[in-house]
Structure 1
Amino acid sequence: MTSVPAPPPDRLPDGFAVRLDPRTRRRDGGTALLGGSPLRLLRLLPRARDLLRGDRLVVGDAATAALAARLLDAGLAHPEPVAAASADLTVVVPVKDRPAELDRLLGALRADRATAAVPVVVVDDGSADPAAVCATAGRHGARVLRHDVSRGPAAARNAGLAAAGTDLVAFLDSDCVPRPGWSGVLAGHTADPRLALVAPRITALESAAGGWVERYEAAVSALDMGRHPARVAAGTAVSYVPSAALLARRGALGTGFDESMRVAEDVDLVWRLTVAGWRVRYEPAAAVAHEHPATTREWLRRRAFYGTGAAQLAARHGAAVAPVVVSPSTAAACALLLSGRRPAVLAAGGVLAVTAGRLARRLARPGQRAPAGLAAVLVLRGSAAAGRTLARSATRHHWPLKS
């Protein structure tokens, strides 16, 4: 397994702003915040309440920097990145036998004013027709590195990473088309000195085919992490981001992706970075379109291939690979609700009520009544989130479970 360096101890800089997630709620007269992923209740000391009177916090000293960092790492708030007008950036494109798609991607980069002049490194990972790849890259002024034999996407990205001479490196797969302004939005996140990776939202590339596969991928693609910004870490709502489109701080990646992994190397890198103490962010305000599979056969083949990475991830990261982590009470309630029968639905309500009662007793403060209403909200929100996760996992390609 490749290693990553430790993050710097630097605090968030003055002027850095964070804003509470719209789904974060103030509780107990503003003395606590409820939200994040996993759902949590964060009690605020009087000094923190004074600093956070609204939904926005601007770093101006050590105290506000510490509070902003705590809110970020709890998933209760997100950065307000200021789009960088220009970034010290190199774009790395791994490719194998896709000259037409490569031409489309490079054309989009050159048409975007923000990336028109950035250096681009195309890594040809053993294409059958290297002359076609070289000619396509040459028309757009891109540098070409070649592997005579395919070594996999991780090795191709690492070759580009090693060749980059800039502080920031963006990885884009050849079947992607970045939307205008994507790089500036992502680069704005690097004002956080502990930010290692930030990923855009991956949307469906428009197509005239219009089959069921394309409609499905446009609605619930495994590459689309949704419309909400998020911190990225194992066990959260956004546990990883795909390497089809990423912006990285070159100094944070160390030796980069694990070249022994032909699949799930992106998940592995994200988890190694977060364990080491780096931050990884998902920023849907930046978008990159992706050419999804168009046929049932191609869709099934790709899903099966992605699924082969679960064993390697489990060997490296253990239980973190489980896509579904639910409590026994939540699992029981969901099972009862799925039966659809009235007695079972009533029983599910009873299970949740007992769970809420136990949680209320745990949340009770000395000399005060148990907060039954707050406990009920926590249980209902947690159960709803678990239900959404279970539904989404029914079509996922990673299936180890943890209870």
Structure 2
Amino acid sequence: MTLPDGFTVRLNRHTRVEDGGRVLIGGSPTRVARLKPAAITAFEGRELVVRDAATRALAEHLLATGIGDPVAGSLPPIPLSELTVVIPVHDRPAQLARLLASVPREVARVIVVDDASTRAEAVASVVAAHGAHLIPLDRNVGAAAARNAGLAAVETPFVAFVDSDVVLEDGCFEVLLRHFADPELAMAAPRVVGLDTERPNWITRYENARSSLDLGGQSASVRPRSPVTWVSSTCLVARVAHLGEGFDASMRVGEDVDLVWRLVDEGHRVRFEPAATVRHEHRTRLRTWLGRKFFYGTGAHLLAVRHPQDVAPVVLPPWGALVLALLFVQKRWSLPAIALTGVIVAGGIVKRLGHVRRPWPIASRLTINGMIAALGQGFALLLRHWWPVTVVLGVFSKTMRRAAAIAAVADVVWEFLRLKPKLDPVRFGVARRLDDVAYGGGVWWGALRGRSAKALLPAIIRTPKADTARAPRG
């Protein structure tokens, strides 16, 4: 199956066009693609419309590499009558009623799977009042297995899995369904933002700015070791034919990530589309908020068992790891050594950009971006994934204490300026560190219980030669 005529792809926001349109730089990992003359003229600005075999092959390349994204508004609509909504629920009848009221009436069917609620009668009453179909389970099996029970009753080509503590925004399903004009697309997910509350507290304000579920405002291809590595089962729309038996019923956490990665491994595409949104009711009490972060962290070990190549806390090229090591030792020669490393790396990139007229500015920019990315991952190691090690070594090492202090301050300043939360810097900084401690604690607890350090080990990878592969002829 191939992309249909009229399918439109737009160059990603982070993709740079150089040499008068002859060279595209973008994707993940970063690729430098040289376009043939016919391919250059096929673009209308930053958009490419599939019209023939050549533009179809180029569009496939842009999607596969992450250099381009589908333009949802230009894709043909799919009627909601081809969609079934599956909602797993355990109690929370009031939230369920709120969600059901937001589901479009045009969908084929709404299936509510009651995962052995203690308030089963209240849940059943809400389901009946909204004309939904109820599947009651006699024992609590978890959200993954509950979704699978609903999936087994789906008769439409598409299914939407929606958690009971969200509200659908108008047009959410319609936007996501348009993406399935791509025959290789298995799943699409919306942006998850906070549900407005009358009295937001500091936790709510922090979550509204930096929720674990909010993946940002840029459309993206979803796959391991990319800027968007997963999407949450808070809300997902999927092609039933690609799901098989669905989620791994043995997993109580991380089952959404596992399913996404299995679909990608099978050669399918998964997309994140922020033009579609749902609103999630964030936790507002400190204990339950931290408990949920800790719970998320425990899923890292389960994923490491199933996907050992994809679950590393950080992914760095060898030179990126060297830069972090040079920064950490904090010697007078550290900065000159980092500068020399940057020159060597940029020189290597220049050699691979022999077809570009002005390679050094491009190579310098790519090197600087790589250093910034490495620095951010270094902060994450010290403050989030390896914070227990940071604390223990900090007791004995002044160097470690200084590195952790600099990382903590720099991280908060960067995130505060980037996100502009409706929260003062001090409370934002406290929330940021509590978030890291809770999640990192969960990662370590899962690793200790599973007797495996796989989820804690960084991945050092070399840039593949394919990063400079040329785009298909056009």
The number of aligned residues is 388
Matched residue, 2:100: 106
Which residue, 91, 94, 111 being the options, matches 1:97? Answer: 91
**Secondary structure at 2:370 match in 1:** helix
Contact 1:34 1:42 in 2 (8 A): yes
Matched residue, 2:413: none
Measured in 2, the distance between the counterparts of 1:301 and 1:249 equals 33
Report how far residue 328 of structure 1 moved. Answer: 3.1
Q: 1:351 to 1:280 in 2, by over 3 A?
A: same
Report how far residue 343 of structure 1 moved. Answer: 5.6
Measured in 2, the distance between the counterparts of 1:229 and 1:138 equals 37
Report how far residue 71 of structure 1 moved. Answer: 0.3
**Secondary structure at 2:131 match in 1:** coil
Matched residue, 1:374: 362
Q: 1:137 to 1:353 in 2, by over 3 A?
A: same
Larger mean Cα displacement after TM superposition, 138-147 or 331-340: 331-340
Contact 1:364 1:370 in 2 (8 A): no
Matched residue, 2:3: 12
Contact 1:15 1:60 in 2 (8 A): yes
Measured in 1, the distance between the counterparts of 2:32 and 2:352 equals 12
Measured in 1, the distance between the counterparts of 2:189 and 2:318 equals 33
- Segments of structure 1 that go 5 or more residues without pairing to the other structure are 1-9
Which residue, 117, 121, 137 being the options, matches 1:131? Answer: 121
Measured in 2, the distance between the counterparts of 1:123 and 1:369 equals 60
Measured in 2, the distance between the counterparts of 1:147 and 1:237 equals 38
Larger mean Cα displacement after TM superposition, 207-216 or 141-150: 207-216
Report how far residue 346 of structure 1 moved. Answer: 4.3
Which residue, 66, 79, 82 being the options, matches 1:75? Answer: 66
Normalized against structure 1, the TM-score is what? 0.90
Which residue, 34, 44, 49 being the options, matches 1:58? Answer: 49
Greater helix proportion: 2
Contact 1:39 1:382 in 2 (8 A): no
Measured in 2, the distance between the counterparts of 1:285 and 1:369 equals 37
Measured in 2, the distance between the counterparts of 1:402 and 1:382 equals 15
Matched residue, 1:84: 77
Report how far residue 354 of structure 1 moved. Answer: 2.3
1:31 maps onto 2:19 in alignment: no
Larger mean Cα displacement after TM superposition, 202-211 or 336-345: 336-345
Which residue, 157, 161, 179 being the options, matches 1:167? Answer: 157
Counterpart of 2:72, as a letter, is P
Matched residue, 2:246: 256
Per-residue displacement from partner, 1:53-85 (whole Å, max 9, x unpaired)? 531111111111111111011111111123737
Which residue, 237, 243, 249 being the options, matches 1:247? Answer: 237
Contact 1:360 1:370 in 2 (8 A): no
Per-residue displacement from partner, 1:194-217 (whole Å, max 9, x unpaired)? 110000000011123422221221
Q: 1:194-205 to 2 correspondence within 5 Å?
A: 194-205=184-195
Q: 1:38 to 1:115 in 2, by over 3 A?
A: farther
Matched residue, 1:158: 148
Report how far residue 333 of structure 1 moved. Answer: 2.8
Q: 1:302-321 to 2 correspondence within 5 Å?
A: 302-321=292-311
Measured in 1, the distance between the counterparts of 2:124 and 2:216 equals 36
**Secondary structure at 2:152 match in 1:** helix
Report how far residue 344 of structure 1 moved. Answer: 3.9
Measured in 1, the distance between the counterparts of 2:135 and 2:241 equals 21
Contact 1:258 1:269 in 2 (8 A): yes
Quick one: higher RCO (CA 8 Å, sep 6+), 1 or 2? Answer: 2
Measured in 1, the distance between the counterparts of 2:267 and 2:96 equals 35
Measured in 2, the distance between the counterparts of 1:339 and 1:218 equals 37
| % identical aligned pairs | 46
Q: 1:49 to 1:138 in 2, by over 3 A?
A: same
Larger mean Cα displacement after TM superposition, 390-399 or 228-237: 390-399
Per-residue displacement from partner, 1:303-354 (whole Å, max 9, x unpaired)? 1211221112111111201131012322343455578887644443332222
Matched residue, 2:222: 232
Q: 1:341 to 1:287 in 2, by over 3 A?
A: farther
Matched residue, 2:320: 330
Measured in 1, the distance between the counterparts of 2:102 and 2:334 equals 55
Measured in 2, the distance between the counterparts of 1:106 and 1:125 equals 17
RMSD: 2.2
Q: 1:33 to 1:270 in 2, by over 3 A?
A: same
Counterpart of 1:17, as a letter, is T
Q: 1:270-309 to 2 correspondence within 5 Å?
A: 270-309=260-299
Measured in 1, the distance between the counterparts of 2:248 and 2:62 equals 31
Per-residue displacement from partner, 1:81-113 (whole Å, max 9, x unpaired)? 23737321111100001111111111122xxxx
Larger mean Cα displacement after TM superposition, 380-389 or 288-297: 380-389
Report how far residue 162 of structure 1 moved. Answer: 1.1
1:46 maps onto 2:37 in alignment: yes
Report how far residue 355 of structure 1 moved. Answer: 1.6
Per-residue displacement from partner, 1:228-282 (whole Å, max 9, x unpaired)? 0000000100001011110001111011111111110111100010111111000
**Secondary structure at 1:266 match in 2:** helix
Counterpart of 1:36, as a letter, is G
**Secondary structure at 1:318 match in 2:** coil
Measured in 1, the distance between the counterparts of 2:87 and 2:316 equals 38
Contact 1:115 1:183 in 2 (8 A): no
Normalized against structure 2, the TM-score is what? 0.77
Report how far residue 26 of structure 1 moved. Answer: 1.4
Measured in 2, the distance between the counterparts of 1:136 and 1:360 equals 63
Counterpart of 1:73, as a letter, is A
Counterpart of 1:67, as a letter, is L
**Secondary structure at 2:307 match in 1:** helix
Measured in 1, the distance between the counterparts of 2:379 and 2:208 equals 17
Counterpart of 1:379, as a letter, is T
